[in-house]
């Protein structure tokens, strides 16, 4: 891309858009700071003025104040210094609370700054790509216009001109050489911009895949899936569903791995159920309980009567039969 084309593209709105993009959060932060300052001043003025509620409320006694004592004392813990050696540190509860709040505020500001930087990079990348595409479009249109307006002659036409008018051939040949030199420079510039765009696109795609890879592993570790378990899942998927290792290597979404894991587990459970059913069918049958004959039931009733002493003569006759 030539310097003149870049300057023209930037003046057409690139720098103005970037300035407006970068100025917006600063205005918002300024407004928030002013609002916080006004809120703090109002609270201080309100605190200094005595109210009727404060005068009417009785003072707390020493016993009531001692019911909720503030934490006092220090705690001891070990931390690693810059040289990697552990050292013992003592801190009060107030110091720990203050340190926690500072760390929380620092983390929040760091995340906001990282988000802001990411948005700025995306904005600049988008603007640069727009400038490049505009340059390529204008350069290709310019080349087409030059070829159409220059009226370049073919080799056969130049040979015929050399035979009929050598002086005109010399002048025409010099003119066409100058035009061809300018077109070559323009072609090299266009080709260089295309190669640079392709290289940057490949770099961006590589960075995107690396980011997806890192996020996928972080989520898989939360699910308890490490490298050996992942290899086992991929092995079962390859065996049962016919996926190749090349196809599985392109999976960068942890949700797809979870689907594969559940599918493998369901298939194993289904196979286990089929084995249990086969074993149950092959197991020997338990004897079915048949109805007891009437004679056994009658003998049992007679035996109960004899044991209880309620048997009669008819029962004895029935027993002897």
Confidence at residue 98, expressed as pLDDT on a 0 to 100 scale = 84
Query: What is the phi-psi region of residue 190: left when phi exceeds 0, alpha when psi lies from -120 to 50, beta otherwise?
Result: alpha
- Asked whether residue 169 carries a pLDDT value surpassing 80, the answer given is yes
Q: How confident is the model at residue 75 (pLDDT cuts 50, 70, 90)?
A: confident
Q: Is the pLDDT of residue 58 over 50?
A: no
For tokens 């810059």, the residue is: 82
Report whether pLDDT(291) > 60: no
Closest-CA residue to 147 (of 174, 182, 196): 182
DSSP assignment of 63-116: HHHHHSPPP-SEEEEEEE-TTS-EEEEEEEHHHHHHHHHHHHHHHHHHHHHHHH
pLDDT score for 29:
47
Per-residue pLDDT band at 260 (split at 50, 70, 90): very high
Q: Which of 229, 140, 145, 155 is nearest to 193 (CA)?
A: 140
DSSP assignment string, 168-197: HHHHHHHHHHHHHHHHHHHHHHHHHHHHHH
Long-range contacts of 22-30 (CB under 8 A, 24+ apart): 22/120, 25/116
* In the predicted structure, residue 136 carries a pLDDT above the cut 80: yes
Output 113 or 60, whichever has higher pLDDT.
113
Cβ atoms of 76 and 88 within 8 Å: the answer is yes
Q: Give the mean pLDDT of 212-218.
A: 90
Check residue 23 and give its pLDDT: 55
Percent of the chain with pLDDT over 90: 15
Q: Give the CA angle between residues 212, 216, 217 to the nearest 5°.
A: 125
- CB of 133 closer than 8 Å to CB of 5: no
In this prediction, residue 257 carries a pLDDT of 92
Q: Per-residue confidence at 125, pLDDT binned at 50, 70, 90?
A: confident
Residue 283: per-residue pLDDT: 67
CB 196 within 8 A of CB 8: no
| Cα dihedral 68, 69, 70, 76 in deg (nearest 10) | -120
* pLDDT at 94 exceeding the cut of 80: yes
């Amino acid at each position: 891309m030539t310097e003149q084309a870049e300057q023209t593209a930037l003046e057409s709105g690139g720098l103005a858009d970037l300035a407006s993009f970068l100025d917006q959060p600063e205005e918002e932060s300024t407004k928030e700071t002013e609002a916080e300052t006004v809120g703090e001043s109002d609270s201080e003025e309100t605190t200094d003025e005595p109210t009727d509620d404060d005068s009417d409320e009785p003072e707390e006694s020493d016993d009531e104040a001692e019911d909720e004592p503030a934490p006092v004392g220090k705690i001891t813990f070990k931390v690693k210094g810059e040289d990697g050696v552990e050292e013992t540190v003592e801190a009060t509860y107030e110091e720990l609370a203050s340190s926690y709040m500072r760390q929380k505020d620092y983390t929040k500001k760091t995340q906001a700054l990282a988000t802001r930087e990411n948005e700025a990079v995306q904005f600049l990348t988008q603007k640069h790509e727009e400038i490049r595409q505009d340059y390529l479009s204008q350069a290709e249109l310019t080349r087409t216009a030059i070829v159409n307006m220059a009226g370049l002659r073919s080799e056969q036409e130049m040979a015929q001109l050399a035979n009929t008018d050598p002086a005109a051939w010399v002048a025409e040949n010099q003119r066409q050489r100058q035009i061809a030199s300018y077109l070559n420079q323009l072609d090299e510039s266009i080709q260089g911009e295309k190669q640079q765009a392709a290289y940057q696109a490949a770099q961006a795609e590589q960075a995107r895949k690396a980011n997806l890879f890192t996020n996928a592993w972080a989520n898989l570790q939360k699910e308890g899936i490490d490298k050996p378990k992942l290899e086992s899942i991929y092995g079962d998927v390859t065996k049962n569903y016919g996926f190749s290792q090349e196809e599985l290597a392109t999976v960068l979404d942890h949700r797809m791995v979870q689907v594969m894991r559940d599918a493998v587990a369901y298939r194993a459970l289904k196979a286990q159920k089929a084995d249990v059913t086969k074993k149950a069918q092959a197991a020997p049958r338990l004897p079915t309980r048949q109805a007891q004959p009437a004679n056994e039931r009658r003998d049992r009733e007679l035996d109960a009567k004899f044991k209880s002493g309620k048997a009669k003569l008819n029962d004895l006759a029935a027993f002897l039969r």
